Structure 1
Amino acid sequence: MTTTDLARPAALGGTPAFPDGLPLTRVRVPDREALLQRIGAVLDSGQLTNGATVRELEERAAELLEVPHVVAVSNCTAGLMLVLQAAGVGQGRPVVMPGFTFSATAHAAHWAGGTPVFAEAREQDITLDVADAEARLKAADRPAALMATHVYGTPCQVEDLQAVADAAGVPLVYDSAHGFGSRRKGVPIGNFGLAEVFSMSPTKVAVAGEGGLVATRDAALAQTLRTGRDYGNPGDYNTLFPGLNARMSELHAAVGLAWLADLPARVAHRGALVEEFRTVVAGLPGLRLALPEAGDVSTFKDLTLILDADAFGLSSAELAAALKAEGIDTRRYFHPPVQRQQSYAHLGQAEDLPVTDRLADSVLTVPLWTHMDAATVRRVAEAVLRIQPYAERLRAAG
Structure 2
Amino acid sequence: MPDFDVIVIGAGAAGLMCAAEAQRRGRRVLVLERAPRAGQKILISGGGRANFTNLHASPANFLSDNPRFCVSALNRYTQHDFIALVDRHRIAWHERDHGQLFCLGSAAQIVDMLMAEAQGAGVQTSVNVTRVSKDERGFAVDTDRGSFAAGALVVATGGPSIPKMGSSGFAYGIARQFGLAVIEPRPGLVPLTFDAETLARLEGLAGVSVDATVTLGKVSFTEALLFTHRGLSGPAILQISSYWRAGDTVAIDLLPGIDAFRLLKEAKDGEPRKEAGSVLAQHLPRRLAQRMAEWAGCEGRLADAADRALRRLAGQVNAWRVVPAGSQGMRTAEVTVGGVDTRGLSSKTMEVRSVPGLYFIGEAVDVTGHLGGFNFQWAWASGHACGQAV
In which range does the TM-score fall when normalised by the shorter chain? under 0.3
TM-score (ref. length: structure 1): 0.23
Compare the two structures and name the one with the higher helix fraction: 1
Structure 1 or 2: more strand by fraction: 2
TM-score normalised by length of structure 2: 0.23
